[in-house]
Amino acid sequence: MTAAAPARSQPGAGSSIARAISRRALPAFTILALGYLLIPIAVMIIFSFNLPQGKFNFAWNQFSLDAWLHPFDWPGLGDALRLSLEIAFISTVVATILGTLIGLAITRYQFRGRGAMNGLIFLPMATPEIVMGSSLLTLFVSSALPGGPLNGVLPKGLVFPLGFNTIVIAHVMFNISYVVVTVKARLAGFDRRLEEAAMDLGANELVTFWKITFPLIFPGIMAAALLAFSLSIDDFVITNFVSGTSNTFPIWTWSIIKNALPPQINVVGSIIFLSAVAIVLITTLRTGRAPR
């Protein structure tokens, strides 16, 4: 007689339900989180098509394309947006160049103070914006005072009047940290054997960088530049401290919202958001096609 095979234990209904919940909980939570983040943006886009009654665009009244047909038909809006774009462009270019070089130096080379520099890079990211803004204001104002605490420290004649230049300096300062972190993440998985192979074939350091290194880290540099541009055009707290009489788009919006809220603000915000999404999608598609 043969012994009967032991019966296989069947998984209980409770374990099946637990697996189903664990399998669907993360996607559901992700969808809810993204929906929560996109609700303000959706409201902004919807109310850009509103025809408000009066000066405030708080309540839905009537669908209209007037604000989209005349997006700058409000005093000061065009100048404020133009100033924000100029500052964002200049600060992004400068911060991307400096941040990329710093990221390469920290990742590739060993030098005295490398660990301290790694820590200093994270300080602007960890410092509250109100503290950084007030510190920069003190720096710029002190540089203009003959008897200030920076008298004799800065070069003679170096003065920072509050305005366009001080905003650019401030934006470059906090953007560099984000560029360095992004570029370092891209360089972390870089295969140095490609550069060594290029040099073995006769390429010098400069040719190797432009032909091998730069194309491979370019997606990281582009991501860092897009992040820096977004942070610059969106910044309010630090800019409010060092702007003087210059009005960027966030500062202009803060000042105008006390007396009016035109739908053109929603239009400009929608254009900036949709443009950023389009650039990210184009960059992602081009990066995805590169390996193929």
49 domain residue, yes or no: no
215 domain residue, yes or no: yes
55 domain residue, yes or no: no
Q: How many domains does the chain have?
A: 1
41 domain residue, yes or no: no
216 domain residue, yes or no: yes
Residue 115 belongs to domain spanning = 78-125+161-263
- 3-state class of 4 per DSSP? coil
219 domain residue, yes or no: yes
pLDDT tens, residue by residue, 229-274: 999 998 999 999 999 888 999 999 998 888 888 899 999 999 988 9
108 band by pLDDT with thresholds 50, 70 and 90: confident
| Burial of residue 11, with CB atoms counted within 10 A of its CB: 0-12 exposed, 13-18 middle, 19 or more buried | exposed
114 domain residue, yes or no: yes
Phi (first) and psi of residue 23, to 5 degrees: -75, -30
- CB of 183 closer than 8 Å to CB of 103: yes
pLDDT tens, residue by residue, 180-226: 999 988 887 777 788 888 888 888 888 888 888 888 888 889 889 98
Distance CA 131, CA 90 (A): 24
- Give the pTM: 0.81
57 domain residue, yes or no: no
Distance CA 128, CA 134 (A): 10
pLDDT tens, residue by residue, 155-187: 655 567 888 999 999 999 999 999 999 998 888
Supply the CATH number for residue 194's domain. 1.10.3720.10
Q: How large a percentage of the chain has pLDDT more than 70? A: 87
Per DSSP, helices labelled H in 48-128 are: 66-69, 77-108, 114-126
- CB of 177 closer than 8 Å to CB of 118: no
Distance CA 138, CA 156 (A): 18
